[in-house]
Structure 1
Amino acid sequence: MYSREEAKKIKESFWTSFGQYMAPVPSADGEKVTWVNYKTGIRNLYFRMDASNKVAQIGIVIADSDAGIRALIFEQFQEYRTVLHAELGEEWIWDAEYYDEYGKATARIYTEIRGSSIFNQQDWPALISFFKPRIMALDSFWSTAQYGFEMFKY
C-alpha cells in the first residue's frame, strides 16, 4: 500500500511519461496538443483519462452545474453517437446522470479496462496502449464535431 504522497508521485510520473510519449503526435488538425489536459474549447466539457490500481477510464465528461445545459450537451452528443462510435471503432457506455467521487452531478460517455494498475510500472505499456488510440480518436471526432457544439461556448 502506498501513502497518499507516494501514490500522487507515481500517478504524476505515469501522466508525465504519457504526455512525453504523446508530445510528438499532432492533433487531427495538425496542431500541437496537450493530450493529458485536452482542451475542447467548451466550458465544463472535458476529455478525461484516469487510472487507478484497479481500473483505467477514458471518456467525455459533461460537468456543467446547470442540469438543463448538461442534458442538452448530452443530447447533442447522442446526435453524433454513430459518428463517435465509428471514429472510436467501438461502443462506449453512455451515462446521462453520474455522480463523481465528490458527489458532483455530471454526464459521461466512456470506456474502461480492468486489470491494469497505474501503480505497477509493468502495466504502463498496456495503459498507454489503451489511452493513446482512444484520445486520438476523440481528437479526430472533435475536429469535425466541435462545430455542432458551438452554441455551448460561453
Structure 2
Amino acid sequence: MYTKDEVKAFKIGFWDGFKRYSKKKGRKMTSWVLKGTQIKEVQLKFDLNEEGAFVMLQVDSKLDANRLAVFESFEKYKPVIDETCGEDLIWDKNYFIKGFKEVSVIYYQLPDVSIYNKEDWEKCYDFFFKQMSLLEEAFLDVKEVVMYRV
C-alpha cells in the first residue's frame, strides 16, 4: 500500500510523462478537445484506475433525461463513429462510476495496467494517444449533427 504522497507522486509522474509523450507525437495536452466539446453534457476523458486505462466520451447531466437524450443522439450515428473507431469501442448507456454516479459512456479500455507499475506507462501512453485520436476524430465528425439534435 502506498502513502498519500506516494500516490500523488505516481499520478504526477504518469501525467507529466504523457504530456511529454504527446508533445513528441506532435500534440500538446491543450490541443485535445477534452472538455471543449461545445456540448454541455459531453467530455472526452483519459482515465487510469484499478480497472485499467480508459479513453472515453462521457455524457453526464444532472437530469437523466438530458443525459440519455444526448447519448441516444450519438447512438443514431453509431455506424459513422464505429467506422472511424473500429469494433473495440464499447457503448454503455448506464455506466456507474464507482462511488460517484451514473453516466453514459462510449469508450475504449486497456485492462491489466496500473499507474503504480512504471513498466505499464509506455503501453498506456500509446493506448491513450492512438485511441483518443480516433475517438476525437469520430466525435468531431458527428458533433454538429448531435448539437443540432439536443
TM-score of the aligned structures, taking structure 1 as reference length = 0.83
Structure 1 residues 37 and 150: alpha-carbon distance in aligned structure 2, compared to 1, 3 A threshold = closer
Unpaired runs of 5+ in structure 1? Answer: none
Identity %: 25
Cα distance in 2 for residues equivalent to 1:101 and 1:12: 22
Cα distance in 1 for residues equivalent to 2:26 and 2:139: 14
Is the 2:48–2:54 contact (alpha carbons within 8 Å) kept by the matching residues of 1? yes
Measured after TM superposition, the shift of residue 130 of structure 1 is 1.1
TM-score of the aligned structures, taking structure 2 as reference length = 0.85
Q: Which letter does structure 2 place at the counterpart of 1:14?
A: F
Which residue does 1:141 correspond to in 2? 138
Cα distance in 2 for residues equivalent to 1:83 and 1:47: 18
Measured after TM superposition, the shift of residue 14 of structure 1 is 1.0
Q: Which letter does structure 2 place at the counterpart of 1:20?
A: R
Per-residue CA deviations over 1:17-48 (Å, capped at 9, x if unaligned) read 21232136567xxx984439452121231111
The count of residues paired between Structure 1 and Structure 2 equals 150
Cα distance in 2 for residues equivalent to 1:32 and 1:113: 20
Pairing 1:56-75 to 2, within 5 Å after superposition? 56-75=53-72
Cα distance in 2 for residues equivalent to 1:5 and 1:34: 29
**Residue among 70, 85, 88 paired with 1:88:** 85
* RMSD between superposed Cα atoms in Å: 2.5
Cα distance in 2 for residues equivalent to 1:42 and 1:26: 26
Structure 1 residues 114 and 93: alpha-carbon distance in aligned structure 2, compared to 1, 3 A threshold = same
Which residue does 1:14 correspond to in 2? 14
Moved over 4 A (4+): 24-27
